Amino acid sequence: MKRTKVIDALKSTAYGSDICVKGWVRSKRGSKGIFFIALNDGSTIKSMQIVGEDTNFDEETIKRITTGACLSVVGKLVESPAAGQASEIQAAEIEILGDCDNTYPLQKKGASMEFLRSVAHLRPRTNLFGAILRIRHNMAMAIHTYFHEHGYFYFHTPLITASDCEGAGNMFQVTTKNLYDLKKDEQGKIIYDDDFFGEQTSLTVSGQLEGDLGETGLGAIYTFGPTFRAENSNTPRHLAEFWMIEPEVAFLDQEELMDLEEDFIKYCVRWALEKCKDDLEFINNNKFITPNQDLIPRLESVLKDEFVRLPYTEGIRILQEAKKNGKKFEFPCEWGDDLASEHERYLVEEHFKKPVIMTDYPRSFKSFYMKQNTPVDAASPDGASVGYKGAVAPGPTMQGTDVLFPSIGEIIGGSVREESLDKLMAEINRREMDTTHLWWYLDTRKYGSCPHAGFGLGFERLILFVTGMQNIRDVIPFPRTPKNAEF
């Protein structure tokens, strides 16, 4: 008999007809010669209730129906007398497809997130991770649909690269060299001539620079792929391997970029509310994960709010004001300082109480490719007025546009790009950057340079927000973090 997925079986009203479902036992209980099985096949958070009479099955089969076992069940679909489910199946035949050993670690409810990480090979079978992973899938579909509908092309950028986009230097090297026998030159530098690519290569920290090349041909592209950062950040918001979405768009100015960021995030959140209702409700009603049962209201409020658009200099002024009024921050927040997550969260969660798009940053901690505001010293007077104490004059601010979210901090990092070759080169030289691996990027500024902008959304940070989970390790099936690459 053809198998019906639980999600379809639960919708069916063909009461009285025979049906076959297959899945894993979430729980089994019995009383007075009748047993009840909650059978889940992953197609939905909801399990199908299977009802069986002891006398219809041999004792051995009933014994083998344990939590985690895989079954095929044939029986009659009937209206359920129990609350919370429309139908159930009166089992006629049960075949055990896979026995579950009694060492199965997911026997009890309420396992801690830490414990579940230690059994990441099994945690997709829990209700919670099923919900998270279905939401994750739906968010990927939302992203592709958004860009497709808006005329963007999915552009594949390489994972192995010889350039360091963000200039952060936190890259994982890729080599086929024998690490026990490295050839070095007179200065002690490793010789890469005989390595696979004939030069030093790494896993990409961002597809942006190559995305820029696609944009000059296709007008509007987006990337969606794995990204790698070897920074030793052991925080609930950092992964060494995460997924990033990076649109790059010709003829977009700073206002339009912010419009895009806001519209895009709201589209994704709306998609979740519409298409992941059961899973969101499950997480919302799980008091262990959502003590205040406020996940869905939080998502709805993001749709209602207009994001605040806040120049960095104004943000610093607000933070300084808060300090004057007794607010304590661990890290400094003078003009010129990169904001720590405590500052971002103060602005978003306490001051504005809604998402903030922060703009026009000092160049001291932003990337070389951002469009420089003119005049060059535009920020200096403002900077001085809020107490800039840096030794070097601030110089031009840059047209960055980062989106800061409640409980997450930075969810999007974006900017308008500097399209002037002269200004870009001046900035590259000021930073004493090596341009060996940037020649092709600089060519775009030589051959029909165009005003353009783009951003990078951290996929797992979006999933953190949409699921309300607290730790980024719990929104990706197999997290990669310092000292952890198991599974």
Residue 409, phi then psi, degrees to nearest 5: 85, -135
3-state helix, strand, coil in the chain (%, to 5): 35, 25, 40
Cβ proximity to ligand 4AD: between 246 and 337 the closer is 246
Query: Taking CB under 6 A as the criterion, which residues in 452-481 touch ligand 4AD?
Result: 454-456, 458, 460-461
Cβ proximity to ligand 4AD: between 41 and 166 the closer is 166
Among the listed residues 26, 136, 238, 345, the single contact to ligand 4AD using CB under 6 A: 238
Which positions from 144 to 183 touch ligand 4AD by CB under 6 A, shown as an x/- string? ---------------------xx-----------------
Which positions from 387 to 426 touch ligand 4AD by CB under 6 A, shown as an x/- string? -----------------------xxxxxx-----------
Minimal CA–CA distance to 214: which of 398, 475, 440, 55?
Answer: 440
Q: What is the DSSP letter of 105?
A: S
Q: How far is the CB of 128 from ligand 4AD (least distance, A)?
A: 21
Cβ proximity to ligand 4AD: between 146 and 455 the closer is 455
The contacts of residue 33 (CB under 8 Å, 6+ apart) are 53, 54, 55
Kindly give the residue spans of alpha helices, DSSP state H, lying in 102-173. Answer: 113-118, 127-149
State how far Cα 11 lies from the chain centre: 31
Which positions from 399 to 438 touch Mg ion by CB under 5 A, shown as an x/- string? --------------x-------------------------
Minimal CA–CA distance to 41: which of 61, 65, 21?
Answer: 21
247 is a contact residue toward Mg ion (CB under 5 A): no
Among the listed residues 242, 282, 346, 441, the single contact to ligand 4AD using CB under 6 A: 242
Q: Which of the listed partners (Mg ion, ligand 4AD, none) does 249 bind, with a CB threshold of 5 to 8 Å by partner kind?
A: none
In this structure, is the dihedral angle defined by the CA atoms of residues 426, 427, 429 and 434, taken in order, positive or negative?
negative
Minimal CA–CA distance to 372: which of 424, 412, 318?
Answer: 424
Q: How far is the CB of 371 from ligand 4AD (least distance, A)?
A: 12
Q: Which of the listed partners (Mg ion, ligand 4AD, none) does 411 bind, with a CB threshold of 5 to 8 Å by partner kind?
A: ligand 4AD
Cα distance between the two ends of the chain: 36
Specify the stretch interacting with ligand 4AD by CB under 6 A; choose among 54-62, 276-284, 432-440, 451-459: 451-459
Q: How far is the CB of 414 from Mg ion (least distance, A)?
A: 9
Compute how many residues bind Mg ion; rule: CB under 5 A.
1
Kindly give the residue spans of alpha helices, DSSP state H, lying in 290-446. Answer: 295-304, 312-324, 341-345, 379-385, 421-430, 439-446
Cβ proximity to Mg ion: between 19 and 370 the closer is 370
Measured CA to CA, the distance from residue 424 to residue 446 in angstroms comes to 11
Compute how many residues bind ligand 4AD; rule: CB under 6 A.
22
Distances 486 to 117, 160, 228, 461 between C-alpha atoms, Å = 10, 22, 16, 22
Q: Which of the listed partners (ligand 4AD, Mg ion, none) does 203 bind, with a CB threshold of 5 to 8 Å by partner kind?
A: none
User: How is 71-84 classified by DSSP, letter by letter?
Assistant: EEEEEEEEE--STT
Q: How far is the CB of 432 from Mg ion (least distance, A)?
A: 22
For tokens 């009933």, the residue is 62
**Radius of gyration from C-alpha coordinates of the chain:** 27
Among the listed residues 47, 67, 206, 359, the single contact to ligand 4AD using CB under 6 A: 206
Residues binding Mg ion (CB under 5 A):
413
- Under the rule (CB under 6 A), what is the footprint of ligand 4AD? 165-166, 206, 208, 229, 238-239, 242, 244, 246, 410-415, 454-456, 458, 460-461
